[in-house]
Structure 1
Amino acid sequence: MASRFSSLQLQRRRLHTATNQLSVRQIRNSDFYGCLGDLKNHISDSDFIALSLQNTGSSSFPWHRLQSFDTYDTAYCKAKYAAEKFQILQFALCPFSVRESKLIAHPYNFHLFPRDDLNIGMPSYSFSCQVSHLTSMAREGFDFDACIYDGISYLSRAQESIAKVRIGRPILTPSTYAVKSSSRQTIADSVFVQRVKSRVKNWKDACNSSTKTNVIPAKGGGTQAIRAILTSSKEDKILLEKELQNLEDEENKKFRGFREVVDMISASQKPILSYNSLNDFAFIHSKFLAPLPTGIDEFASSLHLVFPRVLDVKHLISKIGGLSKPISIASALSYLKNHYFAPIDLDIPLEATGNDRKFHGHNAILLCHLFAKACSVLKIDLGGAQSNNNCLASKLDGCANVFGSFSPDHHESKDDDIKISMKNVRKVSCRHLVFLWGFRDGMTARSMKTALEGSHEVFCEEFDVRFVDKKCAIVVFWQPGLSEAFLDAINSDGIVGCLKDMVSEGLKATGYETYKRVCRLGLWEADLAESLERASSEQHHSSFEADPETERLDMYYSNDSIINLADL
């Protein structure tokens, strides 16, 4: 056991050392626009695009983390909460291709900060930070000063539309209306021409006059700017339109900022790799597209219009034996190296200079490498990705667009089944779960199970107990009808025996629908026991029909507190 542990540590150290030597191009605001040409070419020449985000946080309480017993609906609620509360500080991007056994990658790491460059209160008034995330970034040498003062800002598509209206930016694009000239000029034509000439003359005189302060009066008061240009030929008109389009593009860059990259990825229609697609793309949708929809299906439909093919590598590697449990990208890559012969050489053509050899953004490269190795193990040929895209797509369907009910894996199992733990391969209907809180401090899952055994007849059948955190536990009944019987008993006036004693000491229970209600109502600012208590006590809440799903997205527990940058 000790030798295996030492071997794993050695593999991780080698992986860390190799990664630290990779060339990752670090991009900030001062050199952002200069890199866009290279990035556009690299995206165009690539077959896939891997991305990895570094956020300021992910949760406030342990139960906010995505759990194995979460349905798609509750998982989306948690991802939505995190995306709306925290911010993206690093956006690692790596266009890549696989040729034979060589992985050709072009990694970039963009440093972001949501400054209000246009003084319009967007993209963000404030955001929260989680201590563990900032500490981890600090240990890797992240320069927070450079991020704040030279980070790339951005506006989402929705915010850009609002901003243009708010600041009254003029429209530079020429009119697209075309009118066929008639052989005979009517009286109406002559009157119209004279009116236009008269109006243009008045504008010109007003501009040349030093005594007038108002140039062109607007309908709502104030003034408006109008640019009128006469072209004498079709060629001049085309050149003018190109000039105006270039001016429009330059103006739009001020609004888009980093979203220029997001739009570039979307326009390429290339498959995008993520290791936690629901969480990553909830952030991307919230920051760069529009406010997140209330439901998972609306989110998936909205995202699909912009990014039609998102591949979740975590789902892909779950098909490989030994990798079904939650595991980091680096650990998964190390596992494949130790257990499978899958020779994939990593080739990064870009020469690194100066700060480009820093550790930031390495996860996107590791994700490329992990994806290529996993495909090699699963006998998925990536060499002909461009020429045989349909065949490749069918082989990767199991990990594509794993966001909601349209996921292929969703239809392969019963609609009301969820997993309780990655260690237990059994699935159970979410209707068979009961949440418990209000028990004595210091209890464990084993002691709780012992205390419940014999307290009521429902516990004569098989059941399990799992703790969500120190104050809340889940009881899993493996037989139908037992959860309802237990809830009826614990809420009954005729309760007797050991169960009555436990209830008198403060024990409370509720079903899975209350947990779903907590997530949908956004009762996040408390531990799970308190949130369940509040949701259970509200008699006027809306009722929700059950629509559980089977897939899960998991993260790790953290008890870190939240700080707000606006308070610093």
Structure 2
Amino acid sequence: MAAPRAAAASAKQVTRRNFAEAVRELRSHLESCDYVAVAAQKTGAPTEWRRALPVDTAETAYLKAKLAAESFQPLQIAVCPFLLRNSSPSALVAYPYNFHIFPRDEHQLGMPSYSFSCQSSYLSTMANDGFDFNMCIYDGISYLSRVQESFARQKIFTPHLRPLLPSQSTSVADSVFKSRIKSRIMHWRKGYAEPNKKDDGSLVSSLSRLILGGETYGSRPSISIDVCSDHQVQLVLEAVNHISDDLVPLVVPDKAGAARAVCVIFTSSKEDKNLFLMDIIQQSKEEKFRGFREVIDLLSSSQKPIVSYNCLNDMTMMHSKFVAPLPPNMHEFMCSLKMVFSNVVDVSHLWRQIGPLRKAKNIQAALSYLQRQYFVPMEIKIEQDGTSGVTKNEQNVLRITKLFAKLSNLLKIGPECQLQSDSAKVVSTENIVFLWGFRGKSVKELKSYLPGLHQIFSEDFEVKLLDKTCSALIFRNSGTAMQLLKEINSESPSLNDFFSEGLKAAGFEVYRKVCRLGLWHSDLAEALEGVSSEVAASTLSECNSSQIYWNSSLMLDLEEYLEC
């Protein structure tokens, strides 16, 4: 991609330095947009049989996505609100943002987790693509999930306003305490409210304020008054109330939540005081804890359709990092996700509505095919500052945006339209057999080799290599797989050649159990063999039958979970 074009299509790079400004802009763009595309740059992805496979049901695919979400860390999340206009030609207006995030434990509570996995190949590719690791680590935006925030609020107590209660009768000791506090605060305040007109230098002024106990709260002068009870807090508040309206007292709690001091802040004017009070109220609500999650909350409250590629991996990652720990099963996850994002669209399922596109393996392949085979005139505007080159993550989100716009034009999809189900071939899990021990034979070799071992392999079946140790056999005729597994479990003499070759097999229930147990660190053959001995032959007829979508990726269909 040429430099001028890259600059013109650059997203706004967002770190913690310009995060507040970017959030304000994003809020206004969300209000006017039709959809929001998202993409994430992570430290790795599942490999071999741990990635989603054509033989996976929704449940086993979710368990694999859960593993990835809990193992790897997002370092960039690109968010792109966009508008589609049905003009001639069609118009696409996009507002891409690329947020740099990092799991920094700002509250010293061990949240978020410091540990995550990195794949060296991913990091090498990121480095070659110009990924700025220094920006991510030092200026990346921190975050807490909703559950972590709830925990943090129980453990972290920030300075806060406390109402002044009606004055009660006080003892002599209370009167002396309040008089001393009042005198100390008045003397301190005088140094700021009535500064010495004589220019005696900053050193003398600084020493004077140091002796008086002066500090700063943000950019404003402050003084801290130690207290040992709520009663003393009330006495300090009464003393401040009798001195001046330009003072604001904040109660400072300890780690247990009990008051340990009252911080008195000096404000320079009525306007400055009002601004300070507004800042205190705002900080006490959300901003101190949310970090990047403020963006997730904005997307959620906007109720705009979320467009992504490989939605299951992206949505499990977002749920894990910004909402709550992932539930143990797919149904609970979808119900929980629906409370955050009610409308999620996977572009890989949209392009499968166009027959010839069903074999496209990635976004770029789908875009290239559309450009060659379909004429979709469209004006594209990227309404952001093109101040830097395009990173891989923002390339991805812009490709998702462009691809969705073209598919929407072809399929006549609007924000309120319901999508048709993927028309991929449906296969029952009862028709699948997992086979291992074939000593590295290729798919073609297995197809020609197996029929010589038993007549059951003369029937029509497909072979899919899942990893270097295991393959899946998908039989066309119902009952064939079950018959084979029963003969294997009974050690039928008709399978002597099969056994003598060292071949072993198991049904889908064994694979399902491997995924549920999380035996991810073994080769698939090793994991299946360890579990298959525990699954008795008598349970074969009791296995839960499910459907898989052969040669199709998994779709997040929230409509199936409307009754949650």
Q: TM-score, normalised by structure 2?
A: 0.76
Asked if the contact 2:14/2:97 (under 8 Å) is kept, the reply is yes
Q: Out of 487, 499, 509, which is 1:489 matched to?
A: 487
Q: How does 1:330-479 map onto structure 2 within 5 Å?
A: 330-353=364-387, 355=388, 357-358=390-391, 360-380=393-413, 392-394=415-417, 396-398=418-420, 409=421, 426-440=425-439, 442-479=440-477
Residue deviations 1:441-467, cap 9 Å, x none? Answer: x31122222222142232232223221
2:156–2:255 contact (8 Å) kept in structure 1 = no
Kindly state the Cα deviation for residue 242 of structure 1 after the two structures are TM-superposed: 9.5
- Equivalent of 2:135, from 135, 143, 146? 146
Fraction of identical pairs, as percent = 42
Mapped to 1, the partners of 2:447 and 2:13 lie a distance apart of 53
Query: How far apart are 1:363 and its partner, in Å?
Result: 1.3
Show the counterpart of 1:506: 502
Query: For 1:23, which of 4, 7, 10 is the aligned residue?
Result: 10
CA distance in 2, matches of 1:199, 1:428: 86
Tell me the amino acid that sits aligned with residue 93 of structure 1: V
Aligned counterparts of 1:545 and 1:244: Cα–Cα separation in 2: 63
Paired residues for 1:47-446 under 5 Å: 47-59=34-46, 61-99=47-85, 100=87, 101-169=90-158, 205=178, 208=181, 214-216=227-229, 223-224=258-259, 246-251=279-284, 252-353=286-387, 355=388, 357-358=390-391, 360-380=393-413, 392-394=415-417, 396-398=418-420, 409=421, 426-440=425-439, 442-446=440-444
Find the aligned partners of 1:123 and 1:84 in 2 and give their Cα distance: 12
Give the CA deviation at 1:128: 0.1
Answer with 1 or 2: which has the greater Rg: 2
Q: Give a deviation string over 1:521-553, Cα, whole Å, max 9, x none.
A: 11111111111112223469xx89525244476
Q: Does structure 2 retain, via aligned residues, the 8 Å contact 1:434–1:483?
A: yes
Q: Conserved in 2, the CA contact under 8 Å of 1:58 and 1:86?
A: yes
Do the aligned partners of residues 249 and 194 (structure 1) sit closer, same or farther apart at CA in structure 2, a change above 3 Å counting? Answer: closer
- Structure 1: which 5+ residue stretches go unaligned? 1-12, 176-191, 230-235, 383-391, 399-408, 414-424, 556-568
Tell me the CA shift for residue 357 of structure 1. 4.9
Instruction: Classify the secondary structure of the residue corresponding to 1:50.
Output: strand
2:506 is paired with a residue of what secondary structure?
strand
CA contact (8 A) 2:70 2:320 kept: yes
* TM-score normalized with structure 1 length: 0.75
Deviations 1:81-105 (A, max 9, x none): 1000101011011111022211111
The structure-2 alpha-carbon separation of the partners of 1:248 and 1:87, relative to structure 1 and needing over 3 Å to count, comes to farther
2-side partners of 1:345 and 1:56: how far apart?
34
- Residues 222 and 167 (structure 1), Cα distance of their counterparts in 2 relative to 1, 3 Å cut: closer
Contact 1:114 1:124 in 2 (8 A): yes
Name the aligned partner's letter for residue 533 of structure 2: S
The whole-number CA distance in structure 1 between the counterparts of 2:432 and 2:489 is 16
Alignment partner for residue 523 of structure 2, among 520, 527, 540? 527
Separation in structure 2 between the aligned mates of residue 64 and residue 510 of structure 1, nearest angstrom: 18
**2: CA distance, partners of 1:222 / 1:47:** 45
Question: Following the alignment from structure 2 to structure 1, what is the Cα–Cα distance between the partners of residues 172 and 397?
Answer: 59
Distance 1:426 1:259, change over 3 A: closer
Once residues 312 and 214 of structure 1 are traced to their aligned partners in structure 2, the CA distance between those partners, rounded to angstroms, is: 57
Runs of 4+ in 1 over 6 A off after TM superposition: 196-204, 218-222, 226-229, 239-243
